[in-house]
Structure 1
Amino acid sequence: MSRWRLHTAAYALLLPFLLFYVLFMLLPLGLGLFVSLYNWSFTGDKLFVALDNYKDLLMDSDFWASLWHTFYFVIISTPTLVILGLLLALLVNLKLRGSWLFQTVYFLPNLLSIAVVTAVWSIMFQPYTGLINAGLHFLGMEDEIFWLTDPGYAWYSILTATAWWTVGFNMILFLAGLQEIPKDLYEAASLDGADRKQQLWYVTIPMLRRVTVLVTILQVIASFKIFGQVWLMTKGGPGNATRTVVQYIYETGFRQQNMGLASAMSYVLMIVTLFIVILQFRLMNEKEKVGGTS
């Protein structure tokens, strides 16, 4: 078969994906940027304001507060979910009797919808009647904890529900990485006198570096986009203590009907997320280079 025919066949196979990519990714991105330059409402009123929407964001204290709340969730959720995913993968990879059952149980919550997950955990976190407080009372704690209405506990309640729901996906990625590590490396380390702890630290973790980078970047992106858990569990409360950027975008666009300002917020969030991911990727690559040359 000639090169021209090979190229034609390749482009023909790629064409459906490219069409979907243009229609549902590139075109919305372009339209969103266009809308962000207008004072655009649902009533059809459109007024070109250039960069005024972006200037307004600089003076919007609520936007910066919601951005900080989002950063805070990224800071507490990313290490938690990456480390938990790794620990669960290591546990399942021991291949003990019934380990397949644990793997299934850990991953099953991923198949549930966010509405089901938040409904279950909201009931469990209820004061007086919730399972969490009942367990604490059984252990001797007398004070009632208001998990979803106390600013000191609300974020950790959301993190708990998120971890239970999503950590199984990270576990699967780490488990795939563990199963790709050559057994010869462990045999060589064992012959050199390395115990299990040393094999974990000097063989397993370095060999999982690329998987760790992937899991971390995916987790950062997912945490920046958090909305469903917060909206269904706390509505951004108490007060605005857990209101994230995506929730603020939703309120600005659909409640205040200011689609131009909401689009500008979306682009700022996209730029911040890309910056953090690129910075993180470069830092991890630099560490890998340093580790490889040392």
Structure 2
Amino acid sequence: MSSATLGVRTGRARTGTAAPERDVAAARRSRDTRIGWAFVAPFGVLFAMFLLWPLLHGLWLSFTGESITGAGGAFLGLDNYAEALSDPIMWRAMLNTVWFTVLSTVPLVLVGLVMALLVFQGLPGQWLWRLSFFMPFLLASTVAAQFWIWMYNPQLGLVNALLGVVGIEGQAWLQDTRFAMAAVVVETLWWTVGFNFLLYLTALQNIPEQQYEASALDGAGRWRQLWAITLPQLGPTTVLIVLLQVLASLKVFDQIYIMTQGGPGGVTRPVVQHIFESGFTGYRFGYASAIAYVFFAVIVIIAVAQLRFTTRRDHA
């Protein structure tokens, strides 16, 4: 038999063997794809029902005059958006929300970092400190808000009682336009800083110990190690915490609504409360949806700007 004839037969045999192998591989991939979709399907259904559909339905409502009674659902085009953009109450609520975000984000990041550093340095009773710092975060917003309402009580509250001990006159913290927003910020700090503390503590525990040992051999003290090793290593965690904190603060509603109902004089009224009242008190679902999407656009702009800023800083 010639070598050419043998090569042809060998090639046919290999081709005949490769074809079934490709079919088996294709069948296996198809089966894996079906199994994958079967696992994803429950989440996909819930995602479509509770996120995608409300998102699209709310967008449609923002172009209509829909009310809570189901009446007045005529298509209005951009009228709701035009009214929202010219509404001074909406803009004041937006500014209140931004102001609360600025006031709360900085201390929540700094205090969380200090708490994590104190625990990481080896304070006695580690489990007690960790439990004490994180436990308030486990409370419901209603419980935390009600606790601080009692604390701020002008006649019987602990805050005024402690101030009286040192000779400082007490205040009606939640009823005074000068102090209401700051009082809510303090409550929010006590309630939610435990989450940032936990993130920072986890990041600190992931810093290689060899870096501290090498710097100690070079004569670096605690402060030098803090500025040269610890804080730079915590950079990505800080970016994450700031981003999460800004987004959470922009959506503030629960504690303000419970503690001040947006007062006094509307100085603490956030935009989410304005959306809630426009829809469920003013019965204007369409207009409330338009405000919600304006606010959503503001959140997207802030998030994108913050992400670009942190990305440029990392590249620099």
| Cα distance in 1 between the residues matched to 2:241 and 2:276 | 27
Q: Unaligned 5+ residue runs, structure 1?
A: none
- What is the distance in 1 between the residues matched to 2:263 and 2:307? 33
CA contact (8 A) 2:163 2:170 kept: no
Show CA shifts across 1:14-35 (max 9, x none).
Answer: 2222222222111111111010
Which residue among 72, 75, 78 is the counterpart of 1:51?
78
Give the match for residue 270 of structure 1. Answer: 296
Which residue does 2:52 correspond to in 1? 26
Cα deviation 1:23-72 (Å, max 9, x = unaligned):
21111111110100101102222111011111001210000000000000
Tell me, yes or no, if structure 1 residue 196 matches structure 2 residue 222. Answer: yes
The answer for the alignment partner of 1:10 in structure 2 is 36
Does the residue aligned with 2:48 lie in a helix, a strand or coil?
helix
| In 2: Cα distance, 1:211 partner to 1:88 partner | 15
Query: Which residue is 2:196 aligned to?
Result: 170
Please point out which of 199, 223, 229 is paired with 2:255. 229
Contact kept in structure 1, 2:68 and 2:279, CA below 8 Å: no
Structure 1 distance, partners of 2:238, 2:40, is 30
Of 119, 123, 134, which residue of structure 2 is paired with 1:92?
A: 119
**2:64, 2:75 within 8 Å by CA — same for their partners in 1?**
yes
* Cα distance in 1 for residues equivalent to 2:259 and 2:140: 14
How far the C-alpha of 1:4 sits from its partner, in A, is 3.3
- Are 2:35 and 1:35 equivalent residues in the alignment? no
Q: Which residues of 2 match residues 212-291 of structure 1 at below 5 A?
A: 212-290=238-316
Question: What SS does the aligned partner of 2:178 have?
Answer: helix
Per-residue CA deviations over 1:99-137 (Å, capped at 9, x if unaligned) read 111111111111111111111100110112211001001
- Taking the TM superposition and a 5 Å limit, the aligned residue runs for 1:140-159 are 140-141=167-168, 143-159=169-185
**Aligned residue for 1:207?**
233
Query: How far, CA to CA, are the matches of 2:250 and 2:53 in structure 1?
Result: 22
* Partner Cα distance (2:228, 2:44) in 1: 43
Aligned residue for 2:65, secondary structure, equals strand
Distance 1:189 1:274 in 2: 42
* Counterpart-to-counterpart distance in 2, 1:30 and 1:275: 20
| CA deviation after TM superposition for structure 1 residue 73, in Å | 0.3
> Residues 6 and 93 (structure 1 numbering): CA distance in 2 closer, same or farther, change over 3 Å?
farther
CA contact (8 A) 2:275 2:292 kept: yes
Contact 1:38/1:47, CA 8 A, preserved across alignment? yes
Which residue does 1:135 correspond to in 2?
162
Local SS of the residue matching 1:48: coil
Q: Which amino acid aligns with 1:95?
A: G
- Alignment counterpart, residue 101 of structure 1, candidates 124, 128, 142: 128
123, 141, 149: which one pairs with 1:114?
141
Q: CA deviation at 1:191?
A: 2.3
**Is this contact kept in 1: 2:211–2:229, CA < 8 A?**
yes
- Match of 1:82? 109
3-state DSSP of counterpart to 1:151: coil
Q: What do you get for the CA RMSD once the two structures are aligned?
A: 1.3
Query: Could you report, residue by residue, the CA deviation over 1:213-256 in whole angstroms, capped at 9, with x for unpaired residues?
Result: 11111111110111111111111111111111001001100000
Preserved contact between residue 92 and residue 100 of structure 1 (Cα < 8 Å): no
Distance 1:128 1:135 in 2: 12
Q: Find the partner of 1:62 among 85, 89, 100.
A: 89
User: Relative to 1, partners in 2 of residues 1:198 and 1:3: Cα closer, same or farther, differing over 3 Å?
Assistant: farther
Structure 2: tracts of 5 or more residues without a match: 1-24
Q: TM-score, normalised by structure 2?
A: 0.88
Q: Give the Cα separation in 1 of the matches to 2:158 and 2:93.
A: 30
Task: Give aligned pairs, total.
Answer: 289
8 Å contact from structure 1 (residues 54, 264) kept in 2: yes
Shift of 1:94: 1.9
Letter in 2 for 1:120: F
**Secondary structure, aligned partner of 1:39:** coil
Identical-residue share of aligned pairs (%): 42
